[in-house]
Amino acid sequence: MKDSSKLLLGFMAGVAAGIGLYSLSQSEQGQEFLKKAKDQADELTKNAKDLYEKAKTKVNSAREDILS
């Protein structure tokens, strides 16, 4: 496949994805789906931060035990 064909195919795929996302965001069901997806992403982010803080605390505690 030529580079220009790959570029055109990639561009067309991007346009199709953009149209799909726009259509999804305009419908009531789509808006509800996007809200749920955002809420879940926020929850995952919060959980990841909590796990990071717990791991950081344990590592610091272990480091202090080793250095003491």
pLDDT value of residue 26: 86
The number of CA neighbours under 13 Å toward the Cβ of 67 is 6
Q: Tokens 């009531």, residue?
A: 28
pLDDT in tens, the chain (68 residues): 678 888 889 999 999 999 988 887 888 888 898 899 999 999 999 999 999 999 999 999 999 989 88
Q: Give the tokens for residue 28.
A: 């009531």
The closest alpha carbon to 60, from 46, 50, 68, belongs to 68
pLDDT value of residue 1: 67
Domain hosting residue 23, numbered range: 3-67
Number of domains in the chain: 1
pLDDT value of residue 48: 96
10 Rama class: left (phi>0) / alpha (psi -120 to 50) / beta: alpha
pLDDT value of residue 38: 93
The closest alpha carbon to 34, from 43, 25, 46, 44, belongs to 25
The model's pTM = 0.57
